């Protein structure tokens, strides 16, 4: 994993570093004990800048393990709480791409659901109306491309709930390719799902400049390649 990091750096300055996360990589440790992405980035920083001792790297947000795309980390203790606040206050603009089974019911739509998280299943259930322990979830989608069996959707998040995109799209019959947990017909061979954090835009926490970071999709994947042509 470490050998590929420098090819996947999307943005780098004194305070932040953004990486194009591969499907399967962990942003934070879990019960599997598998290697985590921050450790590989720390190693990259230590080698590139010849830093002795421990390298500081703060997690500002997360992507699900099977999801790919933009992830931003803080390189300084000054940037970390400021980035955390941007995400907490929904002052970031997140755009995702998803390849879903079949066709969406509309060319574009704004979805509002109420999600209930089941920690034991690590799954969120979308409801049309408010129910006990639910949290409101809002996203908008636009159909970018339609293939024979799949469609490419661009998604804008207004809220950041657990498995929000996966749950809400499944609710309207647009299951993300490979996402068995939310009703996909079959899994992807590499356990990925076709959900990609395409762009992240925000006001830089230190420089106060608009920062927009875009992650290319994996063109070694025939389906991503097909919708990117």
Confidence of residue 229 (pLDDT cuts 50, 70, 90): low
Confidence of residue 68 (pLDDT cuts 50, 70, 90): very high
Q: Which pair of tokens denotes residue 227?
A: 């919708």
Instruction: Looking at the chain, list the stretches that DSSP marks H as alpha helix, in order from N- to C-terminal side.
Output: 2-5, 37-48, 79-88, 164-171, 222-228
Looking at residue 1, its pLDDT comes to 41
The span from the CA of 127 to the CA of 121, in Å, is: 17
The span from the CA of 87 to the CA of 77, in Å, is: 16
Looking at residue 23, its pLDDT comes to 94
Residue closest to 107 by CA, chosen among 82, 140, 76: 140
Better-scored residue on pLDDT, 28 or 92: 92
Confidence of residue 145 (pLDDT cuts 50, 70, 90): very high
Better-scored residue on pLDDT, 28 or 183: 183
The span from the CA of 67 to the CA of 163, in Å, is: 10
Instruction: Write down the mean pLDDT value for the chain.
Output: 95
The pTM for the full model equals 0.94
Looking at residue 202, its pLDDT comes to 98
Is residue 103 within 8 Å of residue 109, measured between CB atoms? no
Q: How far is CA 44 from CA 3, 54, 89, 153, in A?
A: 9, 12, 30, 33
The span from the CA of 193 to the CA of 161, in Å, is: 18
């Amino acid at each position: 994993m470490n050998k590929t990091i420098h090819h996947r750096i999307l943005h780098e300055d004194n305070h932040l570093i953004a990486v194009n996360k591969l499907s399967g990589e962990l942003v934070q440790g879990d019960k599997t004990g598998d290697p985590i992405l921050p450790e590989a980035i720390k190693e990259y920083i230590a080698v590139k800048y010849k830093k002795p001792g421990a390298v500081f790297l703060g997690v500002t947000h997360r992507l699900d393990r099977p999801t790919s795309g933009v992830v931003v980390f803080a390189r300084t203790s000054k940037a970390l709480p400021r980035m955390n606040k941007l995400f907490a206050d929904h002052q970031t603009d997140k755009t995702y791409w998803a390849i879903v089974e079949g066709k969406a019911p509309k060319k574009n739509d704004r979805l509002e659901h109420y999600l209930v998280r089941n920690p034991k299943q690590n799954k969120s259930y979308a409801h049309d109306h408010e129910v006990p322990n639910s949290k409101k979830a809002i996203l908008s989608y636009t159909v970018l491309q339609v293939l024979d069996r799949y469609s490419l959707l661009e998604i804008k998040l207004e809220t950041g709930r657990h498995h929000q995109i996966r749950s809400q799209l499944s609710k309207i019959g647009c299951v993300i390719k490979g996402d068995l947990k939310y009703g996909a017909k079959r899994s992807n061979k590499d356990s990925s799902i076709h959900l990609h954090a395409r762009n992240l835009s925000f006001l830089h926490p230190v420089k106060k400049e608009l920062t927009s970071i875009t992650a290319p999709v994996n063109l070694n994947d025939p389906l991503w390649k097909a919708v990117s042509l």
